[in-house]
Amino acid sequence: MKQIISIVLLAMLTGVTAAGQKTDDVKQSRQAVKQFFGQLKGELQSAMKAGGPVNAIEVCSEEAPAIARDVSKEKGLQIGRTSLKPRNPGNAPDQWEKAVLKEFEQRKANGENPKKMEKHEIVEQNGQQVFRYMKAIPTGELCLKCHGSDLDPAVSAKLEKLYPEDRATGYSKGDLRGAFTIIKDL
């Protein structure tokens, strides 16, 4: 009897700790996204103001990965961006990310606000438990200069040169452009 009680207690305790850990991971992921997005948007806006979208392309191609590396290191996780139609093939989604991106599209079609859309799950990868998190990125007005349908020819030319496999144009305001994605080893 005693043994059963301790097993039950242990199971409950483990459950509580796991749930607490997950809440912390979600909070930390939200903070990481906020930091990444805030910094990137700030740099993007000032580069656009200073030299227009052609000039700002460099911010996206060089600063975005650099900011992602800094935030990842600081928070002890891996943060990046992904999309069903990536500009950089290096940002292509893995299987879990692809499923979540499709789920986000479905949730949006069902009327959910994409600004608040997120998903987290603990999954097994290569025999290891990892925490995964994604947050949707809706397309705003600013984004259309480089992800819209009617691009300035100079912008198109530069994008073509840097990203010959670019699939990230033709978006309208409010569309899901992609998502932030986080992996954390547990």
In the bound state with ligand HEC, the residue whose beta carbon lies nearer, of 85 and 120, is 85
Binders of ligand HEC in range 104-123 (CB under 6 A): none
Binders of ligand HEC in range 2-41 (CB under 6 A): none
Nearest one of 43, 72, 80 to 60, comparing CA atoms: 43
In the bound state with ligand HEC, the residue whose beta carbon lies nearer, of 28 and 61, is 61
CA distances from 70 to 92, 131, 165 (A): 21, 19, 27
- CB-based burial of residue 43 (10 Å sphere; 0-12 exposed, 13-18 middle, 19+ buried)? middle
Compute the least distance from the CB of residue 180 to ligand HEC, in Å: 8
Q: Can residue 143 be called a binding residue for ligand HEC (CB under 6 A)?
A: yes
Q: Can residue 51 be called a binding residue for ligand HEC (CB under 6 A)?
A: no
Q: Can residue 79 be called a binding residue for ligand HEC (CB under 6 A)?
A: no
Secondary structure of the chain: what % helix, strand, coil (to 5)? 60, 20, 20
- The only residue of 119, 132, 145, 184 in contact with ligand HEC, by rule CB under 6 A: 145
Report the length, in residues, of the chain: 186
Q: Can residue 137 be called a binding residue for ligand HEC (CB under 6 A)?
A: yes
